[in-house]
């Protein structure tokens, strides 16, 4: 990427996204719980919205870290997803997505799972471009920013160990 100028940074709150919907039978397994693949699909949608908002451009999904499912979300319950850009690394960025289950009768919420996704900012021709830096302000945002750097280092090490396509800008 030849000397591209990065735009001014944006605070985390400027691109946060939230997605809420009721779990319907067409997204459920035979036990009446939302399918893991359906949750993963919604995680990617919520994450990509935050990434789009942050970049003001197209983005593509480059990676998703592992995902554990702690609690089932049943048909008729509400699934809530919240996404934030944790850190930008030049053309790529890490977005964290938290998933919650809400009981429609009691209103009680439970954190069911989380995921970290990597997106790359691209032009309409699919070529990567610089993304604006993220500006963490709160203690939690600063912690997530630091931890995103550690996760990136781990991802790069894993990619190199496996001979994968992950590259880091010098």
Q: What is the pLDDT of residue 170?
A: 39
Task: For the beta carbon of residue 145, count every other beta carbon within 10 angstroms.
Answer: 18
Q: What is the pLDDT of residue 157?
A: 83
Calpha distance 127→116 (Å, rounded): 23
CA distances 49 to 20, 44, 86, 146, Å, are 13, 9, 14, 22
The token duo for 51 is: 């990434």
Give percent of the chain with pLDDT exceeding 90. 83
Domains of the chain in start order, with CATH, are: 10-162 (3.10.129.10)
pLDDT in tens, 61-117: 999 998 889 999 999 999 999 999 999 999 999 999 999 999 999 999 999 999 999
Is the pLDDT score of 21 beyond 70?
yes
The token duo for 153 is: 């280092």
Calpha distance 155→87 (Å, rounded): 14
CA distances 118 to 51, 60, 88, 127, Å, are 9, 9, 10, 16
Calpha distance 70→101 (Å, rounded): 11
Residues 6+ apart with CB under 8 A from 12: 84, 85, 86, 134, 135, 136, 137, 138, 141
**151-158 long-range Cβ contacts below 8 angstroms, 24+ apart:** 151/65, 151/94, 151/116, 152/87, 152/89, 152/94, 155/63, 155/65, 155/118
């Amino acid at each position: 990427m030849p000397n591209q100028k990065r735009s001014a940074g944006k605070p985390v709150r400027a691109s946060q996204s939230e997605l809420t919907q009721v779990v319907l039978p067409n997204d459920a397994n035979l036990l009446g719980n939302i399918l893991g693949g359906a949750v993963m699909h919604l995680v990617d949608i919520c994450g990509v919205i935050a990434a789009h908002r942050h970049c003001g451009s197209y983005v593509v999904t480059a990676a998703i870290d592992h995902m554990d499912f702690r609690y089932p979300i049943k048909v008729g319950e509400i699934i809530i997803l919240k996404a934030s850009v944790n850190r930008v690394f030049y053309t790529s960025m890490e977005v964290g997505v938290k998933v919650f289950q809400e009981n429609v009768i009691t209103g009680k919420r439970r954190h069911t799972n989380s995921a970290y996704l990597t997106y790359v900012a691209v032009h309409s021709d699919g070529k990567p471009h610089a993304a604006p830096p993220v500006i963490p302000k709160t203690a939690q945002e600063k912690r997530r920013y630091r931890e995103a750097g550690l996760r990136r280092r781990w991802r790069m090490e894993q990619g190199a160990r496996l001979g994968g396509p992950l590259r880091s800008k010098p």
